Amino acid sequence: MQSEWKMDTKIIHESQSPDPLTGAISQSVIPAVAYAFPDAETAASVVAGEAEGVYYGRYGNPTSRTLEKKIAALEGGEDALGVSSGMAAISIALLGFLKHGDHVLVTKDVYGGTYNFLTSLAPRFGIECDFVDCTDTAAMLQAIKPNTKAVYIETPSNPKLTILDIKQITQACKLHKLPVIVDNTFMSPCLQKPLELGADVVVHSATKYINGHGDVLAGFVVGSKDVITFMRKRLMGDLGQNLNAWESFLILRGMKTMALRVERHCRNAQAVAEFLEAHPSIERVFYPGLESHPQHKLALAQMKGMGGIVSFEVKGGLTEGKKLINSLKLAMISFSLGDPETLVQHPASMTHASIPQKERVQFGITDGLIRVSVGLEDVHDIIADFDQALEALFPYAGRNSISK
Per-domain boundaries in the chain:
2-255, 258-393
Low-confidence spans in the chain with pLDDT less than 70: 1, 396-404
What architecture is the 2-255 domain classified under in CATH?
3-Layer(aba) Sandwich (3.40)
Prediction pTM value? 0.96
CA atoms within 13 A on the CB side of 50: 6
Least Cα distance to 97 among 240, 203, 208 occurs for: 203
| Sign for the pseudo-dihedral over CA of 193, 194, 195, 196 | positive
- Count CB atoms within 10 A of the CB of residue 33: 9
Phi, psi angles (nearest 5°) of residue 228: -70, -35
pLDDT recorded at residue 401: 47
> Cα–Cα distance between 43 and 53 in angstroms, integer?
9
CATH fit for domain 258-393, picks 3.90.1150.10, 3.40.50.300, 3.40.640.10, 2.60.40.420: 3.90.1150.10
| Sign for the pseudo-dihedral over CA of 117, 123, 126, 131 | positive
> Cα–Cα distance between 26 and 35 in angstroms, integer?
22
Give strand pairing partners of 371. Answer: 311, 345
pLDDT recorded at residue 363: 87
Least Cα distance to 239 among 115, 49, 95, 31 occurs for: 95
pLDDT recorded at residue 383: 99
Supply the Cα-derived Rg of the chain in whole angstroms.
Answer: 22
Provide the annotated active-site residues. Answer: 58, 111, 183, 208
> Cα–Cα distance between 197 and 171 in angstroms, integer?
9
